Amino acid sequence: MKLLVKGGRVVDPANGRDGEFDVLIEDGRIARIGKSLPADGGEVLAVQPGWIVAPGLIDIHVHLREPGQEHKETIATGVAAAVAGGFTAVACMPNTDPVNDHPGVTELILRKAADANLARVYPIGAVSMSSRGEQMSELAAQKAAGCVAFTDDGRPVASALLMRRALEYAGMLGVPIVDHCEDPSLKGDGVAHEGFYAARLGLRGIPGVAESIMVERDIALAALTGGLYHVCHMSARESIRAVRAAKARGLTNVTCEVAPHHFVMTDEALETPIRYDTNVKMNPPLRDAADRDAMLEGIADGTVDVIATDHAPHHADEKLVEFDRAPFGIVGLETCVPLVFDRLVHAGRIGVSRAIELLSTAPARVFRLPGGSLADGAIADITILAPDAPVTIRASALRSKSKNTPFDGWQLKGAVVMTIVGGRIVYRNDL
């Protein structure tokens, strides 16, 4: 089976390629990349000039909710949302019910993902049993079953000792530890960023240092152990500063990610346009303008390795409650590309190549995943984007089972045209 992706701007930072090329796919792999390639008897996919042909986007921070919370999302609906958002692969968080601390759960996830047969799914295992922070999970067994990273996400690895040991042990396996950084006592029962808006609205605050204090601790442990360490969903300017300093020290084992909402929105959204909108409640919370600007800066200067969505679906009923009772999180898979292009690329903060690096090359590198590259022989995971196409986000039209997004009605520029996984077109957007 052959498919020739003809025309378009191939942007492949892994191989230093950015220009007009054709991509020939054969048997699910990249066969050749070059100028004016012959179709060679295969199907021809004509790409409009100006469209971007990129290695498939990879979201390394997604909550697929299955098993156990299928009313929020299932693996099938989650991967449907992923491919509609341009993602050819997602890594899914272990805070399911039961927690993914056992190969049995990993196998279940992989089986359901194979049944859905859309985006690739890479399970992330729990660092500790039930993510309780007490006993380490069988990390090697989980890696053998298919886990690509370990985290207790939803919670931090609160114990410095467990973090140290996990970094050492997972380092042996060459698998990163991903920490949801948040000092439990400083977070307390906070529900929003500790700043002016939360103070005015009478919402209990979570200070930025609740995050950065643990980022600093973890960096110290990463330096001590040499283990692979990845900070997820950074939101505070102090955290950016800490990671920047770590990288300047030469700690190549430290990486980090930022979610789109943290470089797009601020805590002002608690008040405007809707006061106490539970769709702006996430953890870490939307922070202030200086924090948002620090995220933008970190994305531009290379401190931030990866953009990941922290796709966190919740049922409408769960969000239709008092602000402090609502669960944290928003869906992100289907709004990421328009936000990245509109707010980063078109805003002149980064170029297209850097955007693809953040969304594809780097996530593949950090989690050591196949993909993120259009080299000859690589898996044929490709995302085609129309960077100038206008998009109006409609919550009701999302493929995700949940519609909890604060971006409903937003008009942005930058659309997903097509998603190809293993040489097979799994999503097509009729622009």
Partner 1 sequence: MLKSRHLLGIADLEPDEITLILDTAEAMTEIAARPIKKVPTLRGRTVVNLFFEPSTRTRMSFEVAEKRLSADTLSIAVAQSSVTKGETLLDTVRNLEAMAPDMIVMRHASSGAPHLLARLCRSAIINAGDGMHEHPTQALLDAFTIREHKKRLDGLKVAIVGDLLHSRVLRSNVLLLNRMGAEVWACAPPTLMPTELSRFGVRPTTSIDEAIADADVIMMLRIQHERMCGHFIPSTREYFTLFGLTPERVRRAKPDVIIMHPGPMNRGVEIDSDVADGPFSVILEQVTNGVAVRMAVLYLLAGQEAATD
Stretch that binds partner 1, among 125-133, 189-197, 307-315, 397-405 (CB under 8 A): 189-197
Paired tokens of 85: 């958002």
**Please, are residues 221 and 160 in contact by the beta-carbon 8 Å criterion?**
yes
- Using CB under 8 A as the criterion, what x/- string covers residues 360-399 for binding partner 1? ----------------------------------------
Instruction: Note whether 39 binds partner 1 by CB under 8 A.
Output: no
- Using CB under 8 A as the criterion, what x/- string covers residues 58-87 for binding partner 1? ------------------------------
Q: By C-alpha distance, which of 234, 245, 289, 238 is closest to 267?
A: 289
Paired tokens of 102: 């056992």
Q: How far is the CB of 206 from partner 1 (least distance, A)?
A: 11
Paired tokens of 215: 């980022």
Instruction: Note whether 201 binds partner 1 by CB under 8 A.
Output: yes
- Selected binder of partner 1 within 16, 41, 202, 250 (CB under 8 A): 202
Read off the DSSP letter of residue 127. S
Stretch that binds partner 1, among 41-49, 62-70, 161-169, 323-331 (CB under 8 A): 323-331
Provide the 3-class DSSP secondary structure of residue 171. helix
Helical H runs in 139-288? Answer: 139-145, 160-173, 184-187, 196-201, 208-225, 237-248, 260-264
Instruction: Note whether 317 binds partner 1 by CB under 8 A.
Output: yes
* DSSP secondary structure of 38-99: --TTSEEEEPPTT-EEEEPEEEEEE---TTT-TTT--HHHHHHHHHHTTEEEEEE-S-SSS-
Q: Which is nearer to partner 1, 322 or 430 (CB)?
A: 322
Catalytic residue among 59, 179, 288, 310: 310
Distance from the Cα of residue 72 to its chain's centroid: 18
Q: Which is nearer to partner 1, 2 or 315 (CB)?
A: 315
How many CA atoms lie within 13 Å of 239's alpha carbon, on the beta-carbon side? Answer: 36
Paired tokens of 127: 């660092």
Q: How far is the CB of 282 from partner 1 (least distance, A)?
A: 16
Stretch that binds partner 1, among 26-34, 160-168, 193-201, 401-409 (CB under 8 A): 193-201
Distance CA 336, CA 345 (A): 13
Q: What is the CA radius of gyration of the chain?
A: 20
Q: Which is nearer to partner 1, 71 or 165 (CB)?
A: 71
Whole-angstrom CA distances from 64 to 186, 323, 362, 405 are 28, 23, 22, 16
Instruction: Note whether 210 binds partner 1 by CB under 8 A.
Output: no
Nearest-10 crossing angle of helices 208-225, 237-248: 20
Q: By C-alpha distance, which of 150, 16, 53, 91 is closest to 363?
A: 91
Instruction: Note whether 430 binds partner 1 by CB under 8 A.
Output: no
Q: How far is the CB of 242 from partner 1 (least distance, A)?
A: 22
Paired tokens of 217: 């601790």
Q: Which is nearer to partner 1, 263 or 323 (CB)?
A: 323
Instruction: Note whether 290 binds partner 1 by CB under 8 A.
Output: no
Instruction: Note whether 205 binds partner 1 by CB under 8 A.
Output: yes
In the chain, the amino acid numbered 177 is I
Q: Which is nearer to partner 1, 276 or 328 (CB)?
A: 276
- Selected binder of partner 1 within 320, 347, 397, 431 (CB under 8 A): 320
Q: Which is nearer to partner 1, 1 or 274 (CB)?
A: 274
**Please, are residues 265 and 286 in contact by the beta-carbon 8 Å criterion?**
yes
Instruction: Note whether 186 binds partner 1 by CB under 8 A.
Output: no
Decide if 324 is catalytic: no
In the chain, the amino acid numbered 208 is G
- Selected binder of partner 1 within 31, 116, 198, 269 (CB under 8 A): 198
Q: How far is the CB of 161 from partner 1 (least distance, A)?
A: 25
Q: How far is the CB of 265 from partner 1 (least distance, A)?
A: 18
Q: Which is nearer to partner 1, 406 or 414 (CB)?
A: 406
Cis peptide before 184 (omega within 30 of 0): no
Q: How far is the CB of 416 from partner 1 (least distance, A)?
A: 33
How many residues bind partner 1, per CB under 8 A?
22
Q: Which residues bind partner 1 (CB under 8 A)?
A: 188, 194-196, 198-205, 274-276, 317, 320-325
Active-site residue numbers? 310
